[in-house]
Chains A and B, each alone.
Chain A
């Protein structure tokens, strides 16, 4: 089992940071009057951990007994959709963006079905069921509109917890019906604290200098920090504060691309870089990730005068990735643009 899952806090009291937030969630869970929640924050900040802990505070340990259901939905045009639901007796967890454009059908039929049935277990602590919706910012407008009235009408039987990376793509009517909960990424010293704690539990030799470096390297992403931490301990027998932290494979490859672009500014470089970009794409690294980390890696090494220009084109082509249809065009266009800027 990964450290990540093994040492994941299960109860609100055991969470390591954001004590104020934990206290509020606890207060909400105990008040018997639980609102709809919209939990947002960057990835690796601990959104899911907090939600699972809150559910546990609401319903008791029963929520941890989960099973995976596969359900079939039929669209109006008689297309069959297969959809996976993670469920316990008290809650359901769905990722509607799995079914792309048909998310509205799932949201409408599934939520209504849940909302119209009452909790069977008379001993349950709450009489409502909770539906956790992952990647809520990927929901289509239609699906979000379908949520609006459902949230008000069926509030005796149903509570929603929406999880999103940002509130930007959530329509205003939903935002005004939910309690917004922001989960900020952990600060560096908080990551260090967590790593020290995990090392203690695993009975590993503590090494604060290394932990601080991991924290800085991880970009305030606790999940990434824990993965780095584990891989370092798995690969090496002796641990020193100054030992190299292995970046993930894809990150190393992007670094190579950046270095190659900086070394020489001839058009031949595009040809050299192309197979690497394809390699990244075929390994399911999203184009946004590639472009973003390439931009930031270039920024670290170029003159200050060029930085604004590179960010400008990075942002420009990143937007193109979303509007366009074939990502490789825009990645190569960015590479060509960068070479041009560097040449000047």
Chain B
């Protein structure tokens, strides 16, 4: 600890560390490796953005004219809103100039009204820096800055109103890009100052293409149906799908290719069926996890309850006369196994409402209870009681018909 405060000693240590080149390179390799795939495969240019053809074509046109309106991107999570604006900024300025020309603020930054008044205003006010000749040759470098307000729907009303005049006053040298999930949470005066771009939920085809591409590049082995399972559990959210894929890959193949040294790599490729070796072998546990990703492991990562469990529950609900003991036992097991109540409700809903054998009249009544229980769960009620209540009610309704 004493050395910590001794500045001279620290400086010497820093120099020593800098001189010792070996650890520095290995460190930089480390950073390379631990980038999440979501960041690694973020689209580098506008053309790479998947499945948002309309938006992209409009943006490319503005890129050529080098005049940008204020923009408002909205759409469900994981559809490429942040990626698009970052890619656009990169195409406009290049990586170097981007640092001085783009200000990115999101919900993790303090964004009260004071910040809008000071930080945003100060950045908006500063004159545009001149690009070097080299930069202006490669990139358009238009004479304005971009302020990205990510997750703008979590900004307070006051903070949004404070933006109004700022946006207009400095519009000569600054463009704003607001990104949000719910366009209704953006106050009207702001929305009317921006040209709106809707990002639609990803269709299955483009999501599949992307996932297969990433799996290939990362040399992930997966069994049939995994990509479909990913798409199903992520409902159109590509980021979620990629995160799940990466998590599954990590679980099944703990040593990523880049961590192996080259010579080891050769040995491994010559001996493909060898199980992945962990750096430290454990005495008691057998660590051989299968190397191919299975559909079940994707579902486990996504927290999806196995179909069998749900089927048992539903058959208990359909039993006539209804048995309180049976239902109560299954529900207790479900809760003790740690399945989240939201997921139980969702999966019950899916299998009951889309089941043609249940008469419509019963469905009407059941759906009402689903809504009630969902509200109670959102209010933070006890999961065990609520699920038990829901199940007993459903069983009562099914028993009557």
Contact = CB atoms under 8 A, between A and B. Distances in A.
Nearest to A313: B389
A341 to B, nearest CB: 14
A319 B375 CA distance: 9
A175 to B, nearest CB: 8
B287 A27 contact: yes
Contact of A318 (B35, B255, B259, B382): B382
B386 A148 contact: no
A28 to B, nearest CB: 6
Contacts of B34: 32-33, 128, 155-156
Q: Specify the main secondary structure of chain B where it touches its partner.
A: helix
Given A127-B30, A292-B385, A76 B251 contact: no
Interface in A142-175: 142, 145-150, 152-153, 155-156, 166-169, 172-173, 175
Nearest to B248: A179
A30 interface: yes
Contacts of A32: 30, 33-34, 259
Q: Specify the main secondary structure of chain A where it touches its partner.
A: helix
Interface string A287-309: 01001100100010000100110
B126 interface: no
A315 interface: yes
Nearest to A186: B336
A182 B339 contact: yes
Interface stretch (A16-24, A243-251, A260-268): A16-24
B27 A127 contact: yes
Nearest to A45: B338
A206 interface: no
Contacts of B280: 30
Q: Which of A155, A311, A321 has the most CB of B within 10 A?
A: A311
A169 B338 contact: no
Nearest to B112: A76
Interface string B237-274: 10110010011001100111001000000000000000
B151 A149 contact: yes
Interface in B71-92: 77-78
A314 interface: yes
Nearest to B389: A315
A219 B286 CA distance: 30
A220 interface: yes
A180 B285 contact: no
B108 A147 contact: yes
Contacts of A169: 380
A307 B324 contact: yes
B352 interface: no
B301 A168 contact: no
B340 interface: yes
Contact of A185 (B106, B150, B251, B338): B338
A148 B107 contact: yes
Nearest to B39: A152
Contact of B108 (A24, A31, A153, A295): A153
A176 interface: yes
Interface stretch (A35-43, A78-86, A275-283): A35-43
Contacts of A175: 240, 303
B392 A311 contact: yes
Interface residues of B, number: 80
B278 interface: yes
A314 B282 contact: no
Nearest to A137: B380
B385 A315 contact: yes
B279 interface: yes
Contacts of A176: 77-78, 234, 237, 239-240, 243
Contacts of A219: 332, 336
Contact of A168 (B112, B283, B340): B340
B396 A308 contact: yes
A156 B31 contact: yes
Contact of B107 (A146, A295, A311): A146
B110 A33 contact: no
B151 A184 contact: no
B38 interface: yes
A185 B239 contact: no
Contacts of A183: 338
A31 B385 contact: no
B246 A35 contact: yes
A149 to B, nearest CB: 4
Given A148-B107, A155-B34, A13 B385 contact: no
Contacts of B110: 76, 108
A184 B306 CA distance: 14
A69 B269 CA distance: 50
A13 B39 contact: no
Interface in A70-103: 76
B80 to A, nearest CB: 14
B210 interface: no
Given A76-B110, A167-B343, A177-B243, A315 B250 contact: no
A192 interface: no
Interface in A307-341: 307-308, 311-312, 314-316, 318-319, 321-323
Given A23-B286, A175-B240, 7 more contacts: A127-B27, A149-B107, A166-B341, A308-B396, A311-B385, A318-B385, A319-B379
21 contacts: A30-B254, A31-B250, A31-B255, A122-B17, A127-B27, A147-B108, A148-B106, A149-B107, A155-B36, A168-B340, A177-B239, A182-B338, A185-B338, A220-B336, A307-B324, A312-B392, A312-B393, A316-B389, A319-B376, A319-B381, A322-B381
Interface of B: 4, 17, 23, 27, 30-31, 33-36, 38-39, 77-78, 106-110, 112, 114, 150-151, 154, 234, 237, 239-240, 243, 246-247, 250-251, 254-256, 259, 278-280, 282-287, 289, 300-303, 324, 328, 332, 335-343, 376-386, 388-389, 392-393, 395-396
